Amino acid sequence: MPTLFALDENVKTKLSQFCHVPVRKAENIVTLYDVPNIWHIPLLLRDQKAHEAILKELNLASVARKPDLGEWTARTKICDVLHDTVKIAMVGKYTGLSDSYLSVLKALLHASVACHRKLIVEWVAAGDLEDSTAKEAPDVYKAAWELLKGADGILVPGGFGDRGVQGKIFAAKYARENKVPFLGICLGMQIAVIEFARSVLGLCDANSTEFDPETSNPCVIFMPEGSKTHMGGTMRLGSRRTYFKVTDCKSAKLYGNASYVDERHRHRYEVNPDMVSQLENAGLSFVGRDESGRRMEIVELPSHPYFVGVQFHPEFKSWPGKPSALFLGLIAASCGHLETMVKYGHPSSLLTNGNGLSNGKATVKVHHQNGNTIKSSNGSLNVVYSNGNGNGVHYY
């Protein structure tokens, strides 16, 4: 049970009497009191021998082993002393309910901790970056652009529908032109391609057929094998293999010079293969493709410090102690350590004292379309926010 401090034995005994837990099993009552960060919880469970109680109840005590939590313990201890920050602007349209991006947030956290940086996420509503907002709510427009320009890196996550698309295009353009580290995921990759076609190739009406079915320059098209009449079960889902067609690229190096990677997908639209040659001749590089070579999976801008877009969702395979390679790249580039990390390997041996990794506390600012900004009071991820409109913003 959660509390501010560990329970005394007499309290446990009372709880066992009134909660249908026999007195002889009072050791099954575990205290999960408040801790600096959530990664302390497994250590609390271990210290109170919760694993032994579970194994005993399941008659598995004979196969019990001592928990191997050395790396986890080191990571947890380091988390409490992170001071240097990295600020990432998350440009999306669901910022009023940021649980929509929880997997992305966790992946950012895993990567920032691996680079020993305290994560600051600036939530920027994509619509707030658009010209229409400048006319209707200039203060909101100004605040959104200040957040974007003040970030060390920019991330455009996945999404559906045309709301906020122009704002995401503006964010990708700002990142490209100002050499700000950028990662586009799924729709974020498609946005980067559309922006490049418009700004560099001069194709002003370049678009996705999802947003403009009649565009004369369809950079992004519906999957050939998909159905536009049946929405259920028509997405390209699950783990798919991506082959690196350019081995000397940032993405391949971040994946350990692998020849291919398996990542999870969730999309209906993709880059138009008929426009790839035109885009690559202008400077883009589609470094990762599927087995057919016609489905674009990873795009990079070689002349940029870190400008990467992926059709898949790398955040789905990120976990503590093993952060996503591309999220690591974004954070490392945002900290100015990408070249060192790519050259020598994992950042934990380069940017730290070698004591392991940690899941640091993050200061999270939430910028909503109504212009309100909410900041955590204690810098912890274990808080619940409210934007005043009844929408809870949760971090665990």
Confidence tier at 14 by pLDDT (50, 70, 90):
confident
Full-model pTM:
0.81
**Which residue is catalytic, options 186, 219, 249, 335?**
186
Percentage of the chain beyond pLDDT 90 is 54
- Whole-angstrom Cα distance, residue 221 to residue 295? 11
Percentage of the chain beyond pLDDT 70 is 82
Residue 49 is predicted with a pLDDT of 87
**Which residue is catalytic, options 115, 304, 315, 335?**
315
Q: What is the mean pLDDT of the chain?
A: 82
- Whole-angstrom Cα distance, residue 184 to residue 348? 25
79 is catalytic: no
Residue 103 is predicted with a pLDDT of 94
27 is catalytic: no
Residue 66 is predicted with a pLDDT of 87
- Between 208-212, 294-298, 317-321, 368-372, the lowest mean confidence (pLDDT) is in 368-372
Tokens linked to 35: 């801790």
Residue 5 is predicted with a pLDDT of 72
116 is catalytic: no
Predicted confidence (pLDDT) at residue 146 exceeds the cutoff of 90: yes
- Between 19-33, 200-214, 245-259, 318-332, the lowest mean confidence (pLDDT) is in 19-33
**Which residue is catalytic, options 265, 313, 367, 368?**
313
- Whole-angstrom Cα distance, residue 177 to residue 348? 31
**Which range, 56-70, 204-218, 224-238, has the best average confidence (pLDDT)?**
204-218
Mean local confidence (pLDDT), 299-325: 94
Confidence tier at 366 by pLDDT (50, 70, 90):
very low
- Whole-angstrom Cα distance, residue 129 to residue 108? 23
Mean local confidence (pLDDT), 198-209: 94
Residue 298's DSSP bridge partners are 288, 310
> HEC profile for 340-361?
HHHHHCCHHHCCCCCCCCCCCC
In the chain the domains, ranked by start, together with CATH numbers, are 2-68 (no CATH), 82-367 (3.40.50.880)
Residue 266 is predicted with a pLDDT of 85
Confidence tier at 4 by pLDDT (50, 70, 90):
low
Residue 353 is predicted with a pLDDT of 37
Predicted confidence (pLDDT) at residue 393 exceeds the cutoff of 50: no
Residue 229 is predicted with a pLDDT of 54
Length of the chain: 396
- Between 8-17, 168-177, 292-301, 378-387, the lowest mean confidence (pLDDT) is in 378-387
Higher pLDDT, 198 or 97: 198
Residue 266's DSSP bridge partners are 237
Mean local confidence (pLDDT), 168-196: 97
**C-alpha torsion angle, residues 213, 216, 221, 226 (rounded to 10):** 60
* Spatial CB neighbours of 38, under 8 Å, sequence gap ≥ 6: 359, 381, 382, 396
| DSSP-assigned states of every residue in 161-186 | SSTTHHHHHHHHHHHHHTT--EEEET
- Between 72-76, 199-203, 295-299, the lowest mean confidence (pLDDT) is in 72-76
Higher pLDDT, 383 or 220: 220
- Whole-angstrom Cα distance, residue 119 to residue 109? 6
Predicted confidence (pLDDT) at residue 242 exceeds the cutoff of 90: yes
Residue 63 is predicted with a pLDDT of 84
